[in-house]
Structure 1
Amino acid sequence: MAGRINDEDIAAVRERSRIDDVVGSYVALRNAGGGSLKGLCPFHDEKTPSFTVTPARGFFYCFGCGEGGDVITFLQKQQNLSFTEAVQVLADRSGIVLRVEDDGGPTQAPGMRRRVMEANEAAQAFFAAQLESAEAVEARRFLHGRGFDREISLRFGIGYAPRHGGALRQTLRAQGFSDEVLQTAGLTRQGGRDFFVGRVLWPIRDSAQAVLGFGARRLYDDDRMPAKYLNTPETPVYKKSQVLYGLDLARREIGRKAQAVIVEGYTDVMAAHLAGVETAVASCGTAFGDDHARLLQRLMGTHDGLHGEVIFTFDGDKAGQAAALKVFKGDQNFIAQTYVAVEPSGLDPCDLRLQHGDAAVRELVARRIPLYRFVMANIAKSYDLDRADGRLGAAREGAELLSSIRDQSLVSQYLRELSAVLGMDVDEVRREASRARHRSPEPDHGADDAPRPDPAWPNPNDPGLRLERDTLKLMLQCPMTFDEAWNAVEAEDFSHPAYAAVFRLIAEVPWGEAWTDRLRAAAPSDLVRQLMVALVVEPLLREADETYALQHSSRLKLARVTRQIADLKSRLQRTDPVKDPSGHRAQFAQLTELEMRRKQLLSVGLS
């Protein structure tokens, strides 16, 4: 979906999508008492249920793997969907018509997106049925020649657009679709002629398996459109820079394996999946770009840049080398490691499968090599390594390449490889790499833009931190038992940085309607957001009231004062009263004040 969903509609989706109903569609839940439900986590293997759902608060949390969130988050993780896709699925389930604002444009007419999607689904059914017609013999011959029989064609939803330029329009108009909807969906042109005529078609779906548009291949020499491949034009739901063919088939495996294999065409995607490479996708009518990279980054779900892999299939010829260099220039968009699978014979995956079988396609992917290594080898080929100036030129170009590698642990290894390829001393190549790093401009990050480091995740079973955890649970689950200043609790009262970060979030977001949703939206990091959700879901030890909350806040302050007293006593022992009498007196006075504060806190009805 292009554009931004109206905030009120998102709130309505959350309100009308009961989390226990949605989660219950995927997980068997049982009553766990205290208004909670439990089941086996769908996100990791476990034998003892640790996955908890609290319908009253609209959250889930797994105490085994740490996954948590609301009903939208659950569907995102379970089905590997984007936020927008998950909202749309839930909206369709609840009968909510979403209002969508185009970027920089007016709000779409209510219901138009749904009608476009419905028209696409109807068109896909029409095209698939036409593939069985007598006229489609050329399309079937084309598919058979590439190793795809009727069963395979049905599996991938392949269709045929009749040569009659109004067949689709006539059929869909009879089903109640207006010309406005058909033209908005890119199914007809101005004047009413069908957009696709006399071509074999592939449906292009999003990760929620909704048909966004189509890709079509030319079959006849007298085709009025000379382009070999033709794609749906830009529509409210189809943006070619943001879609990948095969995503509906590959999304689960991409998320499970943290791997994506990028091939060049529709038949290559089919061949790869049939051969067992179930993470294969392809761009549609445009080069693989930044938006595609970000889409795969989200689907793979990796976070540290050292896990997961994106594998591009290229020929070993000059065109393949140029494509690899182009990918490398955009490689910083990936948080996974980037690889190249090179087929020396020049066969694409479809032809490779036809000539050598499924195993050859799997072996192509298995022979992947790091993108950096592939590019370095091709840099070396472009210089005369028999000459000293040629070797130095290659070293300098290769050093520029190495200076941008994310994983610095690989730099030394690649330096040795580059020096071996060039026949140079590794120290000389290392000096060139050092010069390249100094030449590269450092990114300008202002102090306000510096990312806040995530504090370490606290052990929920640490008895020394139990009070801090229980106090935050009370604040999140029973905020009305505290006064407006949270009983004067401060972030410094928490000894663990993660708990302190959660309290700062609580203190910064005013309590009120949809408070937990606003807390999640304002969280400074994924760790704080997930920890907050865990504390919302985790059961309280007893029913809370104002006295119970006051006891916790007083104990929390008492613990802080006790830590301060211990630290001050330690400093006093190290301070010589003869050599530093003023410092010793000041510390002693501070200790006396802290002891008085400790007695006051002890008297606040603690039991």
Structure 2
Amino acid sequence: MAARIPEHIIDEINSRVRLVDIVGETVQLKRQGNRYLGLCPFHQEKTPSFTVDPERQLFYCFGCQAGGNLFGYVQKRENVNFVEAVKILAEQAGIPLPDQRGHVDEGRLHKRQQLFDLIEAAKDFFSYQLKNHPQGKYARQYLIKRQLAEDTIASFAVGYAPAGWRNLSEHLIKAGYSPDLIVEAGLAVKSQDSEDIFDVFRERIILPILDQRKRTIGFGGRLLYDGQPKYLNSPQTILFDKSKTFYGLDKLNRYQQLPYIIIFEGYFDLISAWQGGIHNGLASLGTALSFDQSRMLKRFTDRVVLCYDADQAGERATQRSMQLLRQVGLKVDIAMMPPGQDPDDFIRNHGGQAFLEQVIEPALPMYGYFMHVLQKKHNLQSIEGKSAFVREYATLLAESDSPVEIDGYVRELAGLLDITENAIYREIQKEQRVYRRQVQKKEGTSAPIDEIKGSNIDYTAEGLNKAQEIVIYLALHDTSYGSKLTDDLKFEHFDHRYQVLLEKLWPFWQGNQSIQMDKISNLFDHAELSLLAEIILKNEDSIGDPDKALYDCIEHLKVNNYKNELKKLVSLFEQVNEQGDLNAATDVLKQIQELQRKLGRQR
């Protein structure tokens, strides 16, 4: 396929795919006027500064300054180039793409689709081996021992990878897939000594991992016998990144808001819960959550219940995960498993309803959990132990923005330690000052969106960048403003970063043509689109009288240009004067005086 995407393809994708839906796959958006707001998917923040304009198909973050259109968003989220972003969106919209000769070849699959097909073929292979391979009976016995019903096994497409180095690879090669593609899919590795490839998954129960659109993207494998590693995930590929997905994601309704989601540690914890009637769980594919996973959860819920194993590794994972979840604005509770049991054990022994009643419903809020952990850590019979407990707990509680929450835990802690509430409050207030300084330092560059929107700008006193942006913004929205811009200003009135935009916009304004962003987006590269999105979304609600704004900003740019020219002429005058060139000095002096008169008129 040619690198140049036909304009009609871009237009068709823009008409069929809504940016707000693509963003909404991983970001919880809330409507505010004619825009949607949410937490930025590209940097960590607590206050929403990410905005989506559904009409123009543009996004912009006031915190990290990421911005662009539908294609730019997919480029940044998936870390792909423009052509790959078009392929992803075209596939989602069901739009066939042309080949290098410009012909549409619906049978010609691009790499991404080939990988999806290959991994689906591997899933079918593993499923067949579980049912039909001689070794499959041992895998079936293992699943029966774990009390998994046939319909559960089928629902999760559980399979088996037999012992042997090339069972899957040979099957896929016979099916027409190349060894390189099998390796790229994360299903095989190349030999260091030859061109041979060897299967990644061998003698393991296979658990397919599906994305939100129910496409298989990778696998988890559990050893059937003793050995290490007990669990093995697919390596990272262009389809699979374990830090950006969950096991069981395909079971959730992508458009449904849930009261809460339970996060499990293991595959079989999730499967047992699902079999027990608990259909609001996910497994994290790792010991602790990642930031991307935490952010993804905001799409489905406002509350998460962490349910990890009751061992040291589970406790560490709980503490790391809860901090990330709080950072993205989720309420976090912690389910306390009985010692020596994991969720799978408990559900198999007592059932799903008992699990909900005895483990999930009594889940501790985050600060209640910390109190539980610190009680085990410190000697509460000594003054030193109590003091250390209070200091550590105050550091944690200082992050709460709820006076009611703080008051409740202070009373509980005072009763537990038999000390005064005032002593605890003093420690908390000290830690709150430290915490606020840290937050201000960390978020100091992020401008609150309401502050930007509500500002009443004095255009003549604004910086040069602001004046340039407002002129371009107004010209984009009104052809008469575009004509005035081209009549009154020249390229040299603008900085280089804006000139690259103007080179492509100028002909529209000179021809008195209206500009539709979704129709001209293919004229710009990703960086240019990001700048355009910034100009449009940052200035939309901050301009009062547009006529006055345009006049003031044009005058501002003219004055700035005159001042720059004046500096150059003064420098030139000094140079020719030193050289004794009287005629040249006189000519330059006349130009200086003319510029000074112009400056006087502008002011």
* TM-score of the pair, normalised by structure 2: 0.61
Equivalent pair of 1:294/1:334 in contact (CA under 8 Å): no
Paired residue type of 2:248: G
How far 1:205 moved relative to its partner?
2.2
Corresponding residue of 1:148:
148
Return closer, same or farther for 1:450/1:67 CA change in 2, 3 Å cut-off: closer
Equivalent pair of 2:298/2:328 in contact (CA under 8 Å): no
How far 1:333 moved relative to its partner?
3.4
Paired residue type of 2:150: R
Q: How far apart in 2 are the matches of 1:301 and 1:359?
A: 26
Q: Secondary structure of the residue that 1:252 maps to in structure 2?
A: coil
Q: Secondary structure of the residue that 2:257 maps to in structure 1?
A: helix
Matched, 1:432 2:430: no
How far 1:429 moved relative to its partner?
0.2
Corresponding residue of 1:185:
185
Q: Secondary structure of the residue that 2:228 maps to in structure 1?
A: coil
Matched, 1:176 2:176: yes
Corresponding residue of 1:375:
370
Task: From 242, 248, 254, give the equivalent of 1:240.
Answer: 242
* TM-score of the pair, normalised by structure 1: 0.61
Write the mapping of 1:214-233 to structure 2, written as runs, cut at 5 A.
214-220=219-225, 226-233=228-235
Residues 454-474 of structure 1 deviation map (CA, whole Å, 9 limit, x = unaligned) = 26999xxxxxxxxxxxxxxx9
Return closer, same or farther for 1:189/1:312 CA change in 2, 3 Å cut-off: same
Residues 192-239 of structure 1 deviation map (CA, whole Å, 9 limit, x = unaligned) = 222212211011122233322110011135xxx632112222333333
Residues 39-71 of structure 1 deviation map (CA, whole Å, 9 limit, x = unaligned) = xxxx99xxxxx99xxxxxxxxxxxxxx993577
Return closer, same or farther for 1:241/1:447 CA change in 2, 3 Å cut-off: closer
Q: Secondary structure of the residue that 1:125 maps to in structure 2?
A: helix
Q: Answer 1 or 2: higher relative contact order, Cα 8 Å, separation at least 6.
A: 2
Write the mapping of 1:443-462 to structure 2, written as runs, cut at 5 A.
443=439, 445=441, 449-454=445-450
Q: How far apart in 2 are the matches of 1:228 and 1:193?
A: 19
Q: Secondary structure of the residue that 1:261 maps to in structure 2?
A: strand
Corresponding residue of 1:593:
none
Bigger mean CA deviation after superposition, 176-185 or 6-15: 6-15
Write the mapping of 1:56-455 to structure 2, written as runs, cut at 5 A.
68=54, 84=78, 89-92=88-91, 93-96=94-97, 111-135=110-134, 136-190=136-190, 191-220=196-225, 226-250=228-252, 252=254, 256-257=257-258, 259-284=260-285, 286-289=286-289, 292-301=290-299, 308-316=302-310, 318-363=312-357, 364-405=359-400, 407=402, 410-440=405-435, 442-443=438-439, 445=441, 449-454=445-450
Residues 262-310 of structure 1 deviation map (CA, whole Å, 9 limit, x = unaligned) = 10111111122233433322222x3224xx33333244249xxxx8112
Return closer, same or farther for 1:525/1:402 CA change in 2, 3 Å cut-off: farther
Return closer, same or farther for 1:138/1:453 CA change in 2, 3 Å cut-off: same
Q: How far apart in 1 are the matches of 2:152 and 2:267?
A: 13
Paired residue type of 1:246: G
Q: How far apart in 2 are the matches of 1:70 and 1:189?
A: 45
Residues 95-130 of structure 1 deviation map (CA, whole Å, 9 limit, x = unaligned) = 3499xxxxxxxxxxx944333332111111211222
Equivalent pair of 1:258/1:301 in contact (CA under 8 Å): no
Return closer, same or farther for 1:427/1:268 CA change in 2, 3 Å cut-off: same
Equivalent pair of 1:271/1:353 in contact (CA under 8 Å): yes
Q: How far apart in 1 are the matches of 2:6 and 2:326?
A: 32
Residues 16-60 of structure 1 deviation map (CA, whole Å, 9 limit, x = unaligned) = 3263x568xx9xxxxxxxxxxxxxxxx99xxxxx99xxxxxxxxx
Residues 481-529 of structure 1 deviation map (CA, whole Å, 9 limit, x = unaligned) = 54445899xxxxxxxxxxxxxxxxx9x9868476356788755699879
Q: How far apart in 1 are the matches of 2:311 and 2:440?
A: 39
RMSD of aligned Cα (Å): 4.8
Q: How far apart in 1 are the matches of 2:322 and 2:443?
A: 30
Return closer, same or farther for 1:454/1:280 CA change in 2, 3 Å cut-off: same
Corresponding residue of 1:535:
none
Write the mapping of 1:492-571 to structure 2, written as runs, cut at 5 A.
512=505, 515=517, 522-523=532-533
Equivalent pair of 1:14/1:72 in contact (CA under 8 Å): no
Bigger mean CA deviation after superposition, 127-136 or 425-434: 127-136
Equivalent pair of 1:313/1:341 in contact (CA under 8 Å): yes
Q: How far apart in 2 are the matches of 1:172 and 1:228?
A: 25
Q: How far apart in 1 are the matches of 2:331 and 2:536?
A: 22
Q: How far apart in 2 are the matches of 1:296 and 1:414?
A: 26
Equivalent pair of 1:121/1:211 in contact (CA under 8 Å): yes
Q: How far apart in 1 are the matches of 2:535 and 2:405?
A: 28
Q: How many residues align?
A: 444
Residues 125-176 of structure 1 deviation map (CA, whole Å, 9 limit, x = unaligned) = 2112222114211111222222222221111111111224322112211221
Equivalent pair of 2:475/2:485 in contact (CA under 8 Å): no
Return closer, same or farther for 1:524/1:556 CA change in 2, 3 Å cut-off: closer
Q: Secondary structure of the residue that 1:132 maps to in structure 2?
A: helix
Give the gaps of 5 or more residues in structure 2. Answer: 22-28, 36-51, 60-69, 80-84, 100-108, 191-195, 455-472, 488-497, 506-514, 522-527, 551-603
